Structure 1
């Protein structure tokens, strides 16, 4: 059974040895989008339809760019490319990865659809809820939605663990939708360990980003002054710091999943006599 501690060690070793190659990808694919998107909420508030549409399209482009960055770093961590050729592999595997991502998004959308449907059938104004207006929901409806949401979150967490190495499979084995089945096979017996890693990563990254936002936000507000409306200098500086923190954690994900895939694939090869490449 692959050891999570060993995978973490290999991930840290890879990042320290290849920082010069990983850093440009991380800055372009993760840091720049994160630092810019954090200011979108202020621009979206009260913005025109054309501005809102434009910013949503920019967010979509940033999402695709971030996916490319993840595939590129995965290619380097999988030891099938160096800093000069990993970007080309990321571009080559981008469309299959996008197709798989869209399929997973559609599945999540379908699973979450009963919540707005139940509210709509009960006579609640979904337009007002979508605008963020305060809406009083009956205790019975609220309890039912909460229970369904808890079950849905647990189910999604389970599937996330089983599909944890989908991107490395897409990159190394040149698969598309069959990468889902391959990831499901490779992660058998590792589900609870991977869930623990996911929860730990989410908790640490969230706390780090929150701390950076609070500490540096307060400092920059005192130094540069904080605006009450729109985009302020303090807000921009804070978003840059928070984006830097988020980038550090975001880089870990493709590197760790790639190293975990290598461990699981090697283990599967020893068990079955065939290494999945």
Structure 2
């Protein structure tokens, strides 16, 4: 039986023993992209079309860098080798991970399609719906929309649990789309416990990020002042929020990898240390 408590203990032990190796990857591959993405979003306001395009491209590049950083943390956790080796391995497994993300993105698109169907049945003209406004619809359609949303949240949490070790499988076993089926098999019988951990993680990380953005951000704006768009206060706030988000991102990547190793042991298998190819 896989104990979530033991997996957390191994996660904490790894982070305390390997902080010096984790920190450079986390800073370059997660923290810096998060700061850039946050500030690029603020700069979009009132930007010229050319600048807006450049900022959008920069956001995509920063997002890809974050994916690489998370994979590098996974590689480092699987094999306590040098950070440079983990970075190279993450780069090699990067295309496979993007392919898996594409497949899962298409599946997510299928899951959210009923929202549009329900709104259309409720008399909503989807071509005129504002992205930041709730469209007017019949009471029955609104009830169906709420019911489907609740069902989707439950199903989504369960799917997150079943796919929790996709990234470690891609890196550690050098799989591609087959990593989805691999994760599905490994998490059989423990999805409920993993769901509880994921739910706790989402709640705690969301509260911490919100406190950093709105609590600390409000204090900085009062102390420093804030102009529209990017200012010293907003940049400092983005740095603090990025630091909190980086810590939780690293924590989850290490936890998922340690869970992968524990699930392999339960299966009767043994994790083969990641080797440079």
**TM-score scaled by structure 2?**
0.91
For structure 1, the residue ranges without an aligned partner over 5 or more in a row are none
- Asked if 1:19 is matched to 2:19, the reply is yes
Partner of 1:85, secondary structure, is: helix
- Asked if 1:185 is matched to 2:185, the reply is yes
Distance 2:80 2:188 in 1: 25
Deviations 1:4-25 (A, max 9, x none): 1111111111111111111111
For structure 2, the residue ranges without an aligned partner over 5 or more in a row are 273-277
- Asked if 1:86 is matched to 2:86, the reply is yes
Deviations 1:57-85 (A, max 9, x none): 22222221111111111111112633121
Partner of 1:226, secondary structure, is: coil
- Asked if 1:176 is matched to 2:176, the reply is yes
- Asked if 1:258 is matched to 2:257, the reply is yes
Shift of 1:132: 2.0
- Asked if 1:115 is matched to 2:109, the reply is no
Shift of 1:44: 2.6
Partner of 1:200: 200
- Asked if 1:239 is matched to 2:238, the reply is yes
| Pairing 1:106-185 to 2, within 5 Å after superposition | 106-120=106-120, 122-133=122-133, 135-185=135-185
Shift of 1:213: 1.9
Distance change (3 Å), C-alpha of 1:63 and 1:191: same
> What is the total number of aligned residue pairs between the two structures?
272
Shift of 1:121: 5.2
Shift of 1:198: 0.5
Shift of 1:246: 0.8
Partner of 1:96: 96
Partner of 1:135, secondary structure, is: coil
